[in-house]
Structure 1
Amino acid sequence: MRSDVEYSPVGEGLGMRDYWLYVWMRRASVIVAHVTGLGLTLTISLLSRPGTSLFSWHPVCMSAAYCLCMTEGILLFSAEGSPFCFKSRKCKLRLHWLLQALVLIAAATGLGFMVASKNVSELPHLLSWHSVLGVCTLSATLLQAVCGLCVICPKPLRLSSSVPRLKLYHATCGLLVYLLATVTVVSAMFSDWFQASVKGLAWWALLLLPLFPALVVMNQITNAYLPRKKITS
């Protein structure tokens, strides 16, 4: 006798006790990702001492954009450990749009402060890997926002692809943008400013911290959007 059974790799082969342990571990990892994003934003903001110079606002805006707003904008769709798990999906979508709009505003503001600081100091632009990655990240974020508009308004834009496929493209591109943003944040920790502010074990700890939310986000998106297989028996 043949029957089709929907298959999901999450929790496969686990007993009830192991399954609940797995669920709580996933919840704990999402909560730690929330705390890490907020902690990184606060730490970088304190280190930059906003208001002391034009440049001081650049790390504040960029960390708020990518470490906090973008992370929360993705993790709010997580079923485990999200503070918005009790909200409807429609409410989550609105919060997602709001947070991603804040990402663009904060990132553009941070870029403006950096350009102004360079111009005042009469220093050349785009000489470091961090600056090049930052421009690429901001450009990719803008393109991802356009992709999000395509998901929201497929009919007015006369798009031929189906909405589920557009959502898959949007999620995949969003993951790539987030990973690019993570690389950009990590590269900032090799800058002269950051290495002069943080040294020793603290520097290594802050260097590794952005990687944890990236792993959680990657796991969330791949589990939600990877094609499900079917098995026959």
Structure 2
Amino acid sequence: MRSDIEYSPVAVGEGLKVRDFWLYAWMRKAAVIAAHVIGVSLTIIISVLSRPGTSRFSWHPLCMALAYCLCLTQGILIFSPDLSLRCRKPPKYKVRLHWLCQILVLLVATTGLGFIVASKNLSESPHLATWHSRLGVCTLAASALQAACGVCVLFPKLLRLSVPPPRLRLYHDTCSLLVYLLATVTVMAAMFSDWYQAIIKGLAWWAIFLMPVFPALVVMNQITKSYLLHKKVST
């Protein structure tokens, strides 16, 4: 998700008292920080539980956690106006970091798909037999579509597109929201698998199960506000 438009504190705090606005601003920054921390923590938890190297399957949850819990989350939150990068780099610097994260998402997720296909072939298990696997394929397909929209946003003249750039950004933002929601649901669906429920039970299961929800809410809020700003500018 790419945003060239910064949020205005005056617009965000319009109608609020000054003292209330500062509390509101700090709460938003705390929410973004928490989303970063939860994304990293969930990746670490899944990586430890999967014990990579013990089997072919063990690499699948590791790759998918790295792709969607870590790279996708960080790649979108790079553009967060509440916790932006404090540096003198031009805006293109964030775009490059975003694209690096998105490339890693596709590469690592495709690798994870390869491991689960090889594991199922080895055990002669059926493919696409669960909602988790079906949602995972949809998530990977939506990720490829999102990347294609991003290419169109970056190189509209080279591709000779007739669609105006603001509308291309809206399409890209919409795909980003779709991908993240699909990824969140897919991760949560994975926790109903026999493998996961054999490892984690009780309150720990519920705690980890609910962890992806908060980053999804933060990302959804960021993307929808970016959509509204782009819509306002384009009109």
TM-score normalised by L of structure 2: 0.91
- Specify the code of the residue in structure 1 equivalent to 2:36: H
Number of residue-to-residue matches in the alignment:
222
| Contact 2:72–2:102 (8 Å) recurs in 1 | yes
Structure number with the higher helix fraction is 2
Q: Give the match for residue 5 of structure 2.
A: none
**Following TM superposition, by how much is the alpha carbon of 1:9 offset from its aligned partner in structure 2, in angstroms?**
6.5
Unaligned runs of 5+ in 2: 1-7
- Specify the code of the residue in structure 2 equivalent to 1:66: Y
Match of 2:95 among 78, 93, 96: 93
SS in 2 for 1:38: helix
| Contact 2:135–2:186 (8 Å) recurs in 1 | yes
**Following TM superposition, by how much is the alpha carbon of 1:169 offset from its aligned partner in structure 2, in angstroms?**
1.1
Q: Deviations over 1:40-90 (max 9, x none)?
A: 0000000000000000000000000000000000000012234x3434311
Provide the C-alpha distance between the structure 2 equivalents of 1:170 and 1:147, rounded to a whole number of angstroms. Answer: 5
Q: Give the match for residue 3 of structure 1.
A: none
Provide the C-alpha distance between the structure 2 equivalents of 1:225 and 1:22, rounded to a whole number of angstroms. Answer: 21
Q: Give the match for residue 200 of structure 1.
A: 202
Provide the C-alpha distance between the structure 1 equivalents of 2:11 and 2:129, rounded to a whole number of angstroms. Answer: 45
Q: Give the match for residue 118 of structure 2.
A: 116
| Contact 1:78–1:85 (8 Å) recurs in 2 | no
**Following TM superposition, by how much is the alpha carbon of 1:222 offset from its aligned partner in structure 2, in angstroms?**
1.2
Provide the C-alpha distance between the structure 2 equivalents of 1:63 and 1:43, rounded to a whole number of angstroms. Answer: 9
Unaligned runs of 5+ in 1: 1-5
Q: Give the match for residue 106 of structure 2.
A: 104
**Following TM superposition, by how much is the alpha carbon of 1:165 offset from its aligned partner in structure 2, in angstroms?**
1.2
Provide the C-alpha distance between the structure 1 equivalents of 2:107 and 2:165, rounded to a whole number of angstroms. Answer: 27
Provide the C-alpha distance between the structure 2 equivalents of 1:178 and 1:85, rounded to a whole number of angstroms. Answer: 25
Provide the C-alpha distance between the structure 1 equivalents of 2:42 and 2:60, rounded to a whole number of angstroms. Answer: 14
| Residues 6-85 of structure 1: pairs in structure 2 closer than 5 A | 10-82=12-84, 84-85=85-86
Provide the C-alpha distance between the structure 1 equivalents of 2:19 and 2:124, rounded to a whole number of angstroms. Answer: 63
| Contact 1:50–1:56 (8 Å) recurs in 2 | yes
The answer to whether residue 219 in structure 2 is matched with residue 217 in structure 1 is yes
Q: Which structure has the larger Rg?
A: 1
Identity of aligned residues (%): 68
Q: Give the match for residue 133 of structure 1.
A: 135
SS in 1 for 2:163: coil
The answer to whether residue 194 in structure 2 is matched with residue 185 in structure 1 is no
- Specify the code of the residue in structure 2 equivalent to 1:189: M
Provide the C-alpha distance between the structure 1 equivalents of 2:213 and 2:11, rounded to a whole number of angstroms. Answer: 23
Q: Give the match for residue 166 of structure 1.
A: 168
- Specify the code of the residue in structure 2 equivalent to 1:55: F
| Contact 1:107–1:138 (8 Å) recurs in 2 | yes
| Contact 2:145–2:175 (8 Å) recurs in 1 | no
Runs of 4+ deviating beyond 2 Å = 8-12, 84-88
Tell me how large the CA RMSD over aligned residues is: 1.5
